[in-house]
Copies of this chain bind each other. A is one copy, B any other.
Amino acid sequence: MDAVDELLSIRAAELYYEENLTQEEIGRHLQITRWKVGRLLTQAKEEGFVRIEILHSRARRPQLERRLRDERGLADAVVVSRAGVRSEDELQQRVAQACADYLAALRPSPAVLGVSWGRTLTDIAHHLRDGWSRGTDVVQINGGVSMSQRPGTAAATAVSIAQKGGGTAALLPSPAILEQRATKEAIEADRVVARVLDAARSANAYLFSAGAADHDSVHVDSGYLTTADIDRLVEEGAVGDVVGRYIDADGRVVDAGLDARTVGLSLDDLRRADIAIAAITGTPKRAIAAAVVASGLCTVLVTDESTAQHLLDE
């Protein structure tokens, strides 16, 4: 496109999109035929001079969603738009809202839903509307008698999702990670725990997030791991955790010993699921998001457009 046409295409785009003239009117205005106007508008779009954004907290990016499905083998993807987002927190809320919307729109609604816990899950529970399902029982899928500053959030999350969905909540009364493998095996052998785990394994769908392998991890906050533990895991290739299990970029468990002390569903349990919804957003979680998607840990990914773009660039 030469310089004259470039300028003309800008003028045409202004008159078309801002002044709402028809192509014929623009042609009269710029002394060109309406066909030329049409071509100039096409060029302006192709050259990227025209940017169209949907400004709304529920706006999504269907293009990226389709590419994630097609190029990354996901059954479904939800990518929320960044347009107009002012803070990282606002983006997290958008992702949580989108995930809640997705869950509420699932048909059929899962009779049993397995959930993890954490900041993201709490947000999702918060954004679910009352009556989002007519009877969905919720089961925790990983240990979470929390030792963090805000005790009970893990339980509150599961209970809230269940209550709003007209179902019951089955909590996993166990720490996330135990100090001895034997203790972990003993706990899993406990009748109550074993029953919850069985229920978790038979859930119709799973909903979980993932954590980055850094010092801000909820496992450090909760006292299950030290920052030194994290450093060691990172050294061994860990990029983050899913349901408390640290994996590398290929989705493999990094530390088998640690994994054996972690209570809850195994990663392969998740991989066998028909519906496994992962909600992951934020720059620090890019690596773990990539690992989750690449290793088939989820069938559905809910994320933001930056993260999605990053996954597709790899």
Please report A residues at the B interface, Cβ cutoff 8 Å.
Answer: 6-7, 10, 13-15, 17-19, 44, 48-56, 58-63, 83
Q: Known contacts A53-B51, A55-B51; is A63 also within 8 Å of B10 by CB?
A: no
Distance to closest chain B CB from A250 (angstroms): 33
Selected contact of A10 from candidates B48, B51, B58, CB within 8 Å: B58
Whether the Cβ atoms of B61 and A18 lie closer than 8 Å is yes
The 3 closest A-B pairs by CB, nearest first: A17-B52, A51-B53, A49-B56
A13-B55 Cα distance, complex, nearest whole Å: 10
A14-B66 Cα distance, complex, nearest whole Å: 13
- Determine chain A's interface SS by DSSP, over half rule: mixed
Q: Collect the chain B residues with CB atoms within 8 Å of residue A7's CB.
A: 58
Q: Known contacts A51-B52, A55-B51; is A62 also within 8 Å of B10 by CB?
A: no
Complex: chain B residue closest to A52, CB-CB: B17
Complex: chain B residue closest to A13, CB-CB: B54
Pairs A–B under 8 Å by Cβ, sample size 18: A6-B56, A7-B58, A10-B54, A10-B56, A10-B59, A10-B60, A13-B59, A14-B60, A14-B61, A14-B62, A17-B52, A18-B61, A19-B63, A48-B55, A49-B59, A50-B52, A50-B55, A51-B53
Complex: chain B residue closest to A9, CB-CB: B56
Complex: chain B residue closest to A15, CB-CB: B62
Whether the Cβ atoms of B54 and A14 lie closer than 8 Å is yes
Distance to closest chain B CB from A312 (angstroms): 15
Complex: chain B residue closest to A10, CB-CB: B56
Q: Known contacts A18-B63, A63-B18, A63-B19; is A50 also within 8 Å of B58 by CB?
A: no
Selected contact of A50 from candidates B49, B50, B54, B60, CB within 8 Å: B54
A14-B15 Cα distance, complex, nearest whole Å: 23
Distance to closest chain B CB from A103 (angstroms): 15
A237-B268 Cα distance, complex, nearest whole Å: 77
Q: Collect the chain B residues with CB atoms within 8 Å of residue A10's CB.
A: 54, 56, 58-60
